Every structure is written in C-alpha cells, then in structure tokens.
Amino acid sequence: MELDLQIRLLADVPDAIPKLCQWFEREWAPYYGPEGPGDAKSDLVDSSRRGELPITLVGMQDGKLCGTAALKMQSVTTHPDLSPWLAALLVAPELRGRGIGDRLTAAVEELGAELGFEWIYSGTDTAESLLIRRGWEFLERGPYFVSDVSIYRKRLDPTSLLSHPAPPRS
C-alpha cells in the first residue's frame, strides 16, 4: 500500500514548529535539551526557507505531522569541508518503520539536486541502514558531540527530478 505522505516546506507549515521543538528536545536532548547549547526553535525558524539553505521539509499525513528532514550547509562541524548535509531526519516514534524516513530522505536528495549540488552528506548514529538502502556511500565513523557518528555521502542525480519533482515551492 502506497504511503499517503505529503512532503511540504516547513515555511508552508509554520504551525508545526512547536511540535518539532518538542521532538528535537526529546530526541537530541544533549544538544537541544535544557543543558544543551542548541536552540531548536531558532534553528527551525531559520530553516523555514524556500530556495536557499537551510531548508526544512516536513512529512504530513491527513494533516498530522509525521516527520522532518533538512538540507543544511553545515551539520557535522568536524567536517567543515563537506556540504550540504541531510540533517535533522526525524520520524515520530510511533510512525517509524513505515517508509516516512525514506520518503523524507528522497525529498532532501531531490531538493539538493534541484539546487544544483553534486554531492550530499549525512552524519548519523541511527539511520545507517536507511542511507545504505538508498545507495549512500559510507565514508568514516568517528566521535562527534556525545556519540560516534557515521558519515555518508551520495552523488545526486539531477535527472531524477524528471520523475520525482521536489516539493512545491508555493
């Protein structure tokens, strides 16, 4: 059964920001929690853009927020020479395993291709199998912030836009 998921720009769904802030603070507590250096709301508001990075996408099903992913110029700061990054990939815990992360990752890949990037990178300690299934290449594993992360890259294919257009820009 095809997943009825709409991928939208966060810029078009600003009312999702408070819930995303809760998700970010729970999922990445060492960074976005009360003792962490990050500010989830500020990061989300900053990535509510169209046409320039950072850009956050959200997955919606029947008006319900299901997940999010972003395309950012920088994510894993130990690798400032690599850019842009698939970042902030997060699916609501109760909805994991339904293909939402795959669809959000595909949408970020397509957005990167649309914006003219040849490569895209990602640092993860949880989504390795998803990236491998989508054809990402493992580069290395190393310490970052509070855990080890694996760095992956994928060559983007601008011709994929012919069959899988990026989300509408309204």
Written as one string, the DSSP assignment of 15-75 is GGHHHHHHHHHHHTHHHHSTTSS--HHHHHHHT--SSSSSEEEEEEETTEEEEEEEEES-S
Give the single-character DSSP code of 101.
H
For 7, 17, 103, 132, 151, the CA distances from 50, given in Å and listed in that order, are 14, 16, 19, 28, 26
Question: Which class would CATH give 6-162?
Answer: alpha beta
Amino acid found at 160: S
pTM of the predicted structure, to 2 decimals: 0.88
- Check residue 19 and give its pLDDT: 97
User: What residues pair up with 91 in beta bridges, in sequence order?
Assistant: 67
Q: Is 157 exposed, middle or buried (0-12, 13-18, 19+ CB in 10 A)?
A: middle
pLDDT exceeds 80 at position 161: no
**pLDDT, tens digit, 9 for 90 and up, residues 34-91:** 999 999 999 999 999 998 999 999 999 999 999 999 999 998 878 889 999 999 999 9
User: What residues pair up with 68 in beta bridges, in sequence order?
Assistant: 58, 90
**97 is written with which tokens?**
């395993």
Give the single-character DSSP code of 6.
E
pLDDT exceeds 50 at position 164: no
Rounded Cα distance, 56 and 124, in Å = 17
Cis before residue 84, ω within 30 degrees of 0? yes
Rounded Cα distance, 89 and 161, in Å = 21
**pLDDT, tens digit, 9 for 90 and up, residues 129-155:** 999 999 999 998 876 666 788 999 999
**pLDDT, tens digit, 9 for 90 and up, residues 101-116:** 999 999 999 999 999 9
pLDDT exceeds 70 at position 15: yes
Rounded Cα distance, 55 and 47, in Å = 5
Q: What rounded mean pLDDT belongs to the chain?
A: 89
- Check residue 145 and give its pLDDT: 62
Give the single-character DSSP code of 10.
G
